[in-house]
Structure 1
Amino acid sequence: MATAKKAPVTSPTGASVEDFLAAVPDARRQADARTLCALMTEVTGEQPVMWGPSIVGFGSYHYRYASGHEGDAPRAAFSPRKPHLVVYLVGDFETRHATAVAKLGPHTAGKGCLYLKRLDGIDIGVLRELIERTYRVAKGIDKANSD
């Protein structure tokens, strides 16, 4: 008996980005999320779309790993989580763009995520640069070079 294939959690939905942002309970986090949404809209030229229940994405691309795993992902994205604003970037950005990351301000990083407590204290110009680089790589315009 065949089972139905489960839809990926990170796929575009028809949910309202505005309603999602309005429901962020912490006023500072909500303001930062709105600022980040406006920045990503400007940088990417894309309208924000909800991906799953909590990720705001801009554009999309198809990926395929050597293992055969494949799927779709937003070219740039963020999520206003309770402890952090999470900015999703191309993997290994911290190594490739070490000079820019060093100038960013207070943050922590994972393989493809940038975790920000808040935007004040962050160099928005550097954040813009990281988002632009990620978007261009995901769009296939630039190679994933280091700076």
Structure 2
Amino acid sequence: MMYELKTKETDRSVFEFIENVESPKKREDAYKLLDIFTEATGYPAKMWGPSIIGFGTYHYKYESGHEGDAPLVGFSPRKAKISLYFATGDTKREELLKDFGKHTTGKACVYINKVADINIDVLKALINQSVSFLKEAYPNQ
């Protein structure tokens, strides 16, 4: 049985999704992030699954035969925190995060409470680094 990736690109409206974010502050931050990610990547924002706003796409294939598509970078304004998605397995990420501001990290995500807590220049560097890392790791995109 092939593993089915739940997070697929959809045709849902990114703006509609952001407009439905309950907290007005989170909504405002989502629009700020939308601008930053769009400007940094040059890719249009797309909805991935029900709650991730992704930019760009790459096709991955593991040795196990598991393969799929994923956004190069993205974010999700969740109830508790805002999740930021960058490339995992990139050693430069740790370096950049030292100057990022208030955040916590999960396996695949970096969590922030609000945009005001972070350094926007470092965010742009993290986005650019993630995109170039994935394009190198997964050429022929």
Global fold match (TM > 0.5)? yes
Q: Percent identity?
A: 40
Q: Are 1:104 and 2:87 matched, yes or no?
A: no
Measured in 1, the distance between the counterparts of 2:94 and 2:14 equals: 32
Q: Which protein shows a greater Rg? A: 1
Q: Are 1:41 and 2:38 matched, yes or no?
A: yes
The one-letter amino acid paired with 1:26 is S
Post-superposition shift, 1:92? 3.3
Distance verdict in 2 for CA 1:73–1:29, change over 3 Å? same
Instruction: Trace 1:51-66 onto structure 2 (pairs within 5 A).
Output: 51-66=48-63
Q: 2:28 aligns with which of 28, 31, 34?
A: 31
Q: Write out the 4+ residue segments of structure 1 that deviate beyond 6 Å after TM superposition.
A: none
- Aligned length in residues: 139
The answer to whether the 8 Å contact 1:92/1:112 transfers is no
Measured in 2, the distance between the counterparts of 1:106 and 1:18 equals: 27
Post-superposition shift, 1:141? 8.0
TM-score, scaled to structure 2: 0.90
Structure 2 SS opposite 1:57: strand
TM-score, scaled to structure 1: 0.86
Post-superposition shift, 1:111? 2.1
Q: 1:137 aligns with which of 123, 133, 136?
A: 133
Kindly report the root-mean-square deviation, in angstroms, between the aligned alpha carbons of the 2 structures: 2.2
The corresponding residue for 1:126 is: 122
The answer to whether the 8 Å contact 1:92/1:111 transfers is no
Post-superposition shift, 1:96? 2.9
The answer to whether the 8 Å contact 2:9/2:47 transfers is yes
Residue ranges of structure 1 left out of the alignment (5+ in a row): 143-147
The one-letter amino acid paired with 1:127 is L
Distance verdict in 2 for CA 1:141–1:67, change over 3 Å? closer
